[in-house]
């Protein structure tokens, strides 16, 4: 079964990113085109400022339809409070357990305050698969 290993070995090192002032429709295209469930939102220096999920986008679309308004910018719909992040040297098992407990599909990985990458359920499953062989 899965051994205790460093998260650094399994992160996506170049996750899909958007900016806070991007239009939600543009961010949705990135999510759809890349077949992912959400994106990291970063500022010009690659500091993580939020996360935009498929659910956030759906909420934005339905709200705009209901209110007969434009969908708006990413910063209006992203999650920006109490962001759960990981450090690349954390134990992959600990991160996986915490993600499961808190219902997260992805977790940004920061090093020295900057976005280094992202760990997702898919990467965690890949790690398990690797150790099964």
DSSP state letter for 85 = -
pLDDT attached to residue 70: 84
Q: The domain containing residue 128 runs over which residues? A: 7-132
Contact 72, 60 (CB under 8 A): yes
- Number of residues assigned to the chain: 133
pLDDT attached to residue 133: 59
The reported pTM is 0.85
CATH number at residue 126: 3.10.580.10
Residue 2 inside a domain? The answer is no
Count the Cβ atoms, other than its own, within 10 Å of residue 3.
9
Count the domains in the chain. Answer: 1
Instruction: Share the mean pLDDT of the chain.
Output: 90
Mean pLDDT of 46-64: 93
Mean pLDDT of 47-70: 90
Contact 27, 74 (CB under 8 A): yes
Residue 1 inside a domain? The answer is no
């Amino acid at each position: 079964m899965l051994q205790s290993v460093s998260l650094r070995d399994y992160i996506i090192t170049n996750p899909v990113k958007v900016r806070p002032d991007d239009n939600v429709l543009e961010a949705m295209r990135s999510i759809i085109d890349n077949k992912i469930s959400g994106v990291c939102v970063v500022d010009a220096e690659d500091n993580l400022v939020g996360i935009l999920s498929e659910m956030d986008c759906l909420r934005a679309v339905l709200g705009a339809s209901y209110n007969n308004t434009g969908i708006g910018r990413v910063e209006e719909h992203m999650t920006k409070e109490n962001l759960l992040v990981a450090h690349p040297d954390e134990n992959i098992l600990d991160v996986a357990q915490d993600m499961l407990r808190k219902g997260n599909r992805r977790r940004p990985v920061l090093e020295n305050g900057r976005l280094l990458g992202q760990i997702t359920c898919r990467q965690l499953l890949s790690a398990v698969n690797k150790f099964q062989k």
